[in-house]
């Protein structure tokens, strides 16, 4: 994606049972770019089939109208209309990136959420002593996708400037049990706050390193997607 760093990772909880986490990044017909990350309920072949339908529908819907609410609404309809998928649902974050025409190295990200955990905005401190981490959250998280007709989804916008990053993840990360409790959103924020750099690869790398330390190992798949505007060379 021009003007952005990307990094991703997929942690597989089981070699014998297919999970339902997914992500994608793709160009739009108007020259902009879109991305999504999500999780369908269940495991095994039914989850894999639902994941395939979800990814295809998101791409297809975005090709003719990339508005996040419109895209999630079309996915909701597709899942409810499918005779197999109608008994399952998904959580999804869908985003569109718009370069700022008046300021280089700056993007406006429009996010639509359907029942998914909030992405995290990560900004490295100028002093080099860690990062500031905040949730990118609308008034609500939106409703699950594919659960009910006429579902309502949430939308919000975030500005990404040079050196700033966005991390999307599935709940296999935050729901993992560590030290007789959950790793949780608080654990993830603490981890990222200690990072010395906010590059996409370092964000994903430090998160994967923490996942590898979990004991017991996560019981659910984990998907990670990081997007970062590199620091200005000027």
pLDDT single digits (tens) 164-214: 999 999 999 999 988 767 899 999 999 999 987 789 999 999 999 999 999
The H-assigned helical ranges of 65-194 are: 68-81, 171-174, 184-193
Q: Which of 42, 72, 68 is nearest to 57 (CA)?
A: 72
Predicted confidence at residue 47, as pLDDT, reads: 81
Specify the CATH number for the domain of residue 139.
3.60.40.10
pLDDT per position as a tens digit, 73-121: 999 999 999 887 666 899 999 999 999 998 889 999 999 999 999 999 9
In a domain, 143, yes or no: yes
pTM for this model (two decimals): 0.94
Predicted confidence at residue 149, as pLDDT, reads: 94
Per-residue pLDDT for 228 more than 70?
yes
Residue-number span of the structural domain to which 69 is assigned: 5-228
Domain count, the chain: 1
Predicted confidence at residue 141, as pLDDT, reads: 87
Predicted confidence at residue 18, as pLDDT, reads: 75
In a domain, 149, yes or no: yes
| Distance between CA atoms of residues 55 and 62, nearest Å | 11
In a domain, 234, yes or no: no
Per-residue pLDDT for 229 more than 90?
yes
In a domain, 142, yes or no: yes
């Amino acid at each position: 994606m021009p003007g952005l760093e990307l990094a991703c990772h997929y942690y597989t909880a089981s070699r014998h049972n297919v999970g339902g986490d997914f992500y994608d990044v793709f160009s739009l017909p108007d020259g902009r770019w879109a991305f999504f990350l999500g999780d369908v309920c269940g495991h095994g072949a039914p989850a894999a089939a639902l994941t395939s339908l979800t990814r295809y529908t998101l791409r297809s819907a975005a090709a003719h109208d990339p508005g996040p609410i419109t895209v999630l609404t079309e996915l909701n309809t597709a899942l409810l209309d499918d005779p197999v998928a109608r008994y399952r649902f998904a959580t999804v974050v869908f985003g569109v990136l718009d370069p700022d025409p008046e300021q280089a190295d700056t993007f406006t990200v429009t996010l639509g959420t359907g029942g998914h955990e909030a992405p995290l905005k990560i900004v490295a401190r100028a002093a080099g002593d860690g990062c500031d981490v905040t949730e990118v959250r609308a008034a609500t998280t939106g409703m699950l996708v594919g659960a009910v007709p006429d579902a309502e989804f949430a939308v919000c916008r975030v500005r990404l400037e040079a050196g700033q990053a966005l991390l999307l993840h599935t709940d296999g990360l935050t729901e993992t049990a560590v030290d007789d409790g959950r790793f949780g959103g608080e654990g993830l924020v603490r981890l990222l706050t200690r990072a010395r750099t906010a590059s996409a690869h370092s964000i994903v790398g430090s998160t994967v390193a923490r996942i590898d330390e979990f004991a017991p190992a996560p019981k659910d798949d984990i998907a990670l997607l990081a997007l970062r505007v590199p620091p200005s060379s000027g």
